[in-house]
Amino acid sequence: MALIVKKFGGSSVANAERVFNVANRIIDDYKKGNDVIVVVSAQGDTTDDLIEKALEINPKGTASKREMDMLLSAGEQISIALLAIAIETLGCPVKSLLGWQAGFQTDSHHSIARIKRVDTERLKNEISKKNIVIVAGFQGLNKYDDITTLGRGGSDTSAVAIAAAMKADLCQIYTDVDGVYSADPRKVPTAKKMNEISYDEMLELATLGAQVLNNRSVEMAKKYNVELEVLSSLEVKPGTIVKEIVKMEKTLIKGVAKDNNVARISIVGLEDTPGIAFKIFNKLAQYKVNVDIILQSVGRKGTKDITFTVPKDQKPQAVEAIESIKDSLNFEDISVDETISKVSIVGAGMESNPGVASKMFEALSDAGINIQMISTSEIKISVLIDAKQADKAVTAVHDAFLG
């Protein structure tokens, strides 16, 4: 007998048939004598539809984050109840719980809250009564008793948090593909499924845009040593195990990821004197902007240009931050480009192997794709390119290393 945490994503519970499919898979494990805690996301595109509804009322998108959290958390409330009704109908004891009922305490950063702790009393109590427990993912409660959400894709993190707090034997993340692939299998037909991947490599892939797992969930799994399995909710077969140590494989590059959520900001004609970069990035930090790639180049007539990237949704804050110091900075122009994508390769083996970057650039050059910016670390190389060419770039780079 084991304690199993299972998480089902939005597409896995999108309609009545799928809800029953998931219910049956849960019941299979329960009837084998296991304790089962299930985390679910909102059905299908519910979260996006709720965002649209808010935009109908407030087209500027300036609704307060508190109210947006109140709205978006409703999606998961529907799916937990429907799944519990299905399990009840199939004759098994079940209890659905909202995030706060399941003990999720978070900080107060509405729309991107961090889990502080999971108070497991209620979960343990329901389990001891032999109930299957269905928990609403993506949500918690802050110290003012307000509902918070954990950021898009946050249900993965809810599941890992429960697995860590309850010391579960297994944490299974069910989705609409049958594991983690070397690139998005819906976009790259030659992508290969991995049997295993390390936390570090999965964390890079997730952070660089592979949405199959939320990056915070991987971070938390690594911290609390929760082994994850990513698997299909529609087919019964083994998925991909995410864990600390994986067998050394010959492949240098583990995977390729794409991120469209990037905006590039260029400040042109800055004075070429000490302290300018500090002034800019200090101000951006004060505005809580996450800066990613930074490039400084020599401009005309003894000036310099500074270009950097930020997540698209932080563009307004970034521009506001720069405008607020416009007078003391004394630059010629600021421009923003949102038609770009970041394509990255990830692999722990690249550190000790020269020639990886050149091979990536060759693949892009052969495909006629222009590189706008480059950034590297020990286990990844990212390039910024025209968004229209992103899918072509992912396939070209993937096939050069893994095809």
Residues that bind ligand ASP (CB under 6 A): 9-10, 41-42, 47, 75, 137-138, 152-155
CB 194 within 8 A of CB 42: no
Decide which of ligand ASP, Mg ion, ligand ADP, none touches 152; Cβ closer than 5 to 8 Å per partner kind: ligand ASP
Q: How far is the CB of 42 from ligand ASP (least distance, A)?
A: 4
Decide which of Mg ion, ligand ASP, ligand ADP, none touches 75; Cβ closer than 5 to 8 Å per partner kind: ligand ASP
Q: Please report where in the chains the tokens 């519990």 appear, as a residue.
A: 84
**Which amino acid is residue 116, in one-letter code?**
K
Q: How far is the CB of 367 from ligand ADP (least distance, A)?
A: 20
| Nearer CB in complex with ligand ADP: 239/299 | 239
Q: How far is the CB of 95 from ligand ASP (least distance, A)?
A: 21
Q: How far is the CB of 140 from Mg ion (least distance, A)?
A: 17
Is residue 393 exposed (0-12), middle (13-18) or buried (19+ Cβ within 10 Å)? buried
Region from 3-11, 55-63, 252-260, 295-303 binding Mg ion, contact rule CB under 5 A: 3-11
| Nearer CB in complex with ligand ASP: 154/255 | 154
Alpha-carbon distance of 368 to 388, in angstroms, equals 12
What is the contact mask toward Mg ion in residues 123 to 152, using x (rule: CB under 5 A)? ------------------------------
Closest residue to bound ligand ADP by CB: 9
Alpha-carbon distance of 226 to 161, in angstroms, equals 9
Asked if residue 153 binds Mg ion (CB under 5 A), the reply is: yes
230: nearest Cα among 211, 257, 245, 204: 211
Decide which of ligand ADP, Mg ion, ligand ASP, none touches 394; Cβ closer than 5 to 8 Å per partner kind: none
Interface residues toward ligand ADP, by CB under 6 A: 9-12, 41, 153, 175-177, 180-181, 183-186, 210-212, 255
Q: How far is the CB of 59 from ligand ASP (least distance, A)?
A: 21
Alpha-carbon distance of 99 to 173, in angstroms, equals 18
First to last CA, the chain: 42
Reading phi first (left if > 0) and then psi (alpha if -120 to 50, else beta), residue 245 is in beta
Q: How far is the CB of 47 from ligand ADP (least distance, A)?
A: 10
Helix residue ranges, H only, 241-304? 276-286
b/e map 251-289, b = 16+ CB within 10 Å: ebbbbbbbbeebbbbbbbbbeeeeebeeebbebbeeeeb
Give the binding site for Mg ion (CB under 5 A).
9, 153
